[in-house]
Amino acid sequence: MDWWQALVLGIVEGLTEYLPVSSTGHLILAQRAMGIANGAAADAYVICIQAGAILAVVGLYWRRIRQMLWGLAGRDAEGLRLAVCIVVGFLPAAVIGLTIEHWVKNHLFGLWPIVAAWGVGGAVILVVAWWRRRKSEKPTSGLAMRALTWKTALIIGLAQCLAMWPGTSRSLVTIVAGVLVGMSLPAAVEFSFLLGVVTLTAATGYEGLKQGAQMLHAYGPVDLAIGFVCAWLAAVLAVKWMVAYLNRHGLGLFGYYRVALAIVVAGLILAGSLAVT
């Protein structure tokens, strides 16, 4: 991997990790487009550089994370309630992810499954956006974070498991699930981001322990550092923009983007410009 490829992958990771467009799908597409060989080291690299995006959200939501830490220390009841909800939301992905990890990598890490997930996810976003417009709901209408219960968190956590299909987007399914169970869009986005800190940290740590040595041997620490820093910077910009945009406009734009991307990538595959696997 050249330094500029690490830079591109870091930027792609940071921009797409928390947007409802699927970072995994975009990273696989970028790898194929740049001719980076598929394999365990490449898979581990794109998972480990997401630590930069995690750090960005930790910084942006530090006050809420600190509140949960105080709650775990017995000094903030609302923080403890939120921390419990985060743990409950994380557990389904932890259990199911370890169970089907190898099947997912063997069957779904190709461009055709990703294209299908982009298209279906885009259609889901457009349907949800239409449904909210029909009910004349503003993005800020719905339950706030303080109304979140462990049962609601469990539903969102179960929905998060759908994101194991590359191209689906963890942010998409958790935000949509939050909205469908009655949360306001800003509250659903915030919970999705906080849940992502735990879920993505666990995935990064697991993959780093499992394939870290092979990844460093293949790419070296410099390329890893470039990807990490670029992911951090890009994620800071993407998250700030996304929160401001969604508070005013809702999810519709991302639905159109996903459908258009699915059509374009499908056309490139059929034209022989992109390798399917």
**Per-residue pLDDT tens digits for 73-104:** 999 999 999 999 999 999 999 999 888 888 88
Mean pLDDT of 228-246: 93
Give the residue with greater pLDDT, 221 vs 139.
221
Of 40-44, 59-63, 133-137, 169-173, the least confident:
133-137
Q: Which of 30-39, 40-49, 80-89, 120-129 is the most confident on average?
A: 80-89
User: Which residue matches tokens 């930069």?
Assistant: 52
CA 129/CA 131 separation, integer angstroms: 5
Q: Please work out, in degrees rounded to the nearest 5, the angle formed at the alpha carbon of residue 203 by the alpha carbons of 277 and 105.
A: 25
Span 140-144, average pLDDT: 79
Identify the CA nearest to 251 among candidates 19, 24, 56.
Answer: 19
- Report if pTM > 0.85: yes
Q: For all residues of the chain together, what is the average pLDDT? A: 90
Confidence of residue 43 (pLDDT cuts 50, 70, 90): confident
Domain ranges of the chain: 3-270
